[in-house]
Amino acid sequence: MNAGVSLEHNFSMLLLKLFVVLACFHECLSDPQVHHKGYMLTGRAAGDFVPKITPTASPQPFLPLLAPSPLSTFTNSTSPKLSGLCMLNFTAAQSLISITSIDCWAAFAPLLANVICCPQLHATLVILVGQLSKETGVLALNRTLAKPCLSDIEQVLAGQGAGDGLNQVCSIHSSNLTEASCPVKDVDEFENMVNSSELLASCEKIDPVKECCDQVCQGAISDAATRLALKASDPLSMDGPHVLPQHTTRINDCKTVVLRWLASKLDPYHAKEVLRGLTNCNVNKGINAPSILSS
């Protein structure tokens, strides 16, 4: 388990170092004329670096030239074109949006999709809807608003440097913002059906290593999701090894609703840490393992 976490950390650090080297190399080659002049400076006399002051002119301050940011070529400063229909509060989750845009930078999003970008994007969707539920009392968006909201999320992320087409890269659909097949979405009904205090106690703070082994929070989420799914199912058909595929899908959709409820009880940063910790358990088991956030 520790080896998996260490491997992921080393891989991330290697990519970060590669990114910095490429960025600096790009700046060096971006203007060959300036690059050439840099070498010619070595042949100048020391006095050439001192500003010339004439008796009739006011002395000018000596200001060093500032190099452009090495990250400037990888960022997109365009203003997002929003639909005006989405109620999600992007301003309150600005730090979360910034983290997601960095994790899904255009140059690396396809390469780091399953390991970094997509888990962070799925967590962002869960947190945005969960935080909104504190105002609406509903743990899902309706199908009419889900599509423009998904478009707005992409626009906001792209405006901060994230790649285009993240919904294709991470298999995101507007249904990821709705309740999908889960029969429960109202907060009051949710809390009446689920042992919410036990759920929060199991998941409000997790140890990323212990959770992957003990699965305390994951077990609590599965139990809560099963309770919600039972509302639309025959209890006998949910037990045993012969669970029908539609019941499995319904439970997975209800897991997303459970995660949104958890996100509504935590601040965005803390919620992100919990959700990413849960996802890392799946990543450590194998890149192709289904994520608890991608149902």
Closest alpha carbon to 159 in 114, 110, 97, 117? 97
pLDDT at residue 78 tops 90:
no
Burial of 103 (0-12, 13-18, 19+ CB in 10 A): buried
Q: What percent of the chain has pLDDT over 90?
A: 56
CA distances for 94 relative to 145, 153, 209, angstroms: 21, 12, 28
Give the lowest-confidence range in 83-92, 150-159, 192-201, 283-292. 283-292
Residue 175 has a pLDDT of: 95
For residue 179, the number of C-alpha atoms closer than 13 Å in the C-beta half-sphere is 18
**How confident is the model at residue 231, as a pLDDT?**
92
What is the band of 239 on the pLDDT scale with cuts at 50, 70, 90?
low
User: What is the b/e burial string over 152-171, where b = at least 16 CB atoms within 10 angstroms of the residue's CB?
Assistant: bbbbbbbbbbbbeebbebbe
pTM for the model stands at 0.71
Does residue 140 surpass a pLDDT of 60? yes
Q: What is the pLDDT of residue 224?
A: 97
- What confidence score (pLDDT) does residue 176 get? 96
Whether residue 56 is predicted with pLDDT greater than 90 in this model: the reply is no
- The band of 243, judged by pLDDT with boundaries at 50, 70 and 90, is low
Helix (H) or strand (E) segment spanning residue 249: helix 245-264
For the cut 80, the answer to whether the pLDDT of residue 161 exceeds it is yes
DSSP 59: P
User: Quick one: average pLDDT of 45-54?
Assistant: 48
Handedness of CA 151, 156, 162, 163 (dihedral sign): positive
Q: Give me the pLDDT at residue 164, please.
A: 85
Q: Cα 30 from chain centroid?
A: 31
- Give the model's pLDDT for residue 180: 96
